[in-house]
Amino acid sequence: MSVSLARGLRLTALLVAALAAFAQSQSQPQPQPGVDADTAREPAPGAVVSHMGSAPPEALTEAALSDLRERVNRATTQGRHVDILRLIDTPTRLPDGSSQSRWAAIYYGEALSHVIYGDEAWRAMQRQLERLAEQQPHAWILVAHAHVAQAWQARGDGMAGSVTPAQQARFQALLGQAAKTLDQHKAELAEMPEWYALRLHLATEAGEPESARRRWFVEGVLRHPANQGIYFARMRQLTPKWGGSEPAMFDLLDDIARSDDPAVLAEGLYARVLFFAEREGYPLVRHPRVKLERMNADIDRIVASYPVQWNVQPFLVARCSLADRARSEQLVPALRRPVSGRVSAEDAELYASCLSWLLQGEGFVMRYHRRGQAPETVVIE
């Protein structure tokens, strides 16, 4: 038997076993998620939310997010903002490794913009939140989020060219109110990672000086060294779209690579931030400045702890794009059907090509699209 045939048979067996395991998990009874916010017992800080027993981690995550959004919407509609604060304040981990706190904050902004309309209604909401903050200082983060939600409602969801000067002025003014709220109450809020993530996002939108943005980032990672939201907000600032550059993006990645903090390593932050840049339109995996050893070590850590397919499948495409057959093969046991809905159509096609390359030895051509640059053609043989 030839070496290539033996490898193909071995990979086929691994893939069949992986898909069989997935099919078995799908056939098991799956209790319906959903716990009423009034009676639910919050998970312990740092716990991983799980509602569905042995269901695949993708189903667990989607169920947890659906349940979280429902609870946030219900609490917002009923004016129980203290429940929202509790969700943002509790560092619970979802099964894909993301933070409940960050998702709760996002859903809160969405919920507010769907139930509050008109300046008077927004002023009444702000007064209600400020009264809560006088009793529970962490609630000032809710006040800031309410300003942001009102700002986006005033601006609208259209592209920049569709926003009128009046809408843009109102948008910037309300974002300024959010930033002012955060700055005035930093002493009460700085122990919350969300203060830094939100403040960095506001600084990006307002075009605040780089010296201030870098100061908040450095302070934030010193207080919260492995918080994904803070690193993602900083990487977004450093993209060319927001006035940064690829060298600046790699300076941030190099800083992460130099860290030997156990929390940073366990989080797989180098790979997470690298792939966040790709989602922002800057695929950097093939760049000569990428620390491949660190990237691959982080990929292995993430897959071992959070094997959701929207982690595993893009990681396979990345290793495949480097023609790294050995490390690509290592991911095969973690693969499941179908292609994740969070994977772009282009990456889904590349994913299928990667599997054919691994299983049948079929070469293919990849085209890398990077903002502001001509596509790069890569031949994988």
pLDDT in tens, 297-340: 999 999 999 999 999 999 999 999 999 999 999 999 999 877 88
For residue 157 the two structure tokens come to: 């969801």
> Which of 295, 285, 342 is closest to 318 using CA atoms?
285
pLDDT category of residue 155 using cuts at 50, 70 and 90: very high
Give the chain's length: 381
pLDDT of 53 over the 60 cut: no
Give the per-residue pLDDT at 158: 87
Mean pLDDT of the chain: 85
Predicted confidence (pLDDT) per residue in 13-32, tens digit? 444 444 444 444 434 434 34
Q: Give dist(CA 320, CA 216) in Å, integer.
A: 37
Please tell me the predicted confidence (pLDDT) of residue 197: 96
Predicted confidence band of residue 350 (pLDDT cuts 50, 70, 90): confident
What's the rounded Cα separation, in Å, for the pair 314 and 320?
A: 10
pLDDT of residue 331: 94
pTM equals: 0.83
What pLDDT score does 348 carry?
A: 82
User: Is the predicted pLDDT of residue 263 greater than 50, yes or no?
Assistant: yes
Indicate if the pLDDT at residue 149 is higher than 50.
yes
Tell me the average pLDDT across 260-264.
94
CB 290 within 8 A of CB 274: yes
Orientation angle between helical segments 81-89 and 100-115, nearest 10 degrees: 160
d(CA 66, CA 95): 13
Q: What is the pLDDT of residue 367?
A: 76
CA dihedral 236, 279, 158, 168 (to 10 degrees): 0
Q: What is the pLDDT of residues 188-216, one digit of tens each?
A: 999 999 999 999 999 999 989 999 999 99
The residue-averaged pLDDT of 40-64 equals 64
Residue 24's pLDDT is what? 44
Q: How far apart are CA 276 and CA 235, in angstroms?
A: 8
**Mean pLDDT throughout 348-362?**
87
Say how far residue 270 (Cα) sits from the centre of its chain.
14
Assign 110 a pLDDT band (cuts: 50, 70, 90). very high
State the helix-helix crossing angle for 193-206 and 165-184, rounded to 10 degrees: 150
Q: Phi and psi for 227 in degrees, rounded to 5?
A: -80, 120
Closest CA to 253 of 267, 234, 240, 266: 234
Per-residue pLDDT band for 370 (boundaries 50, 70, 90) equals low
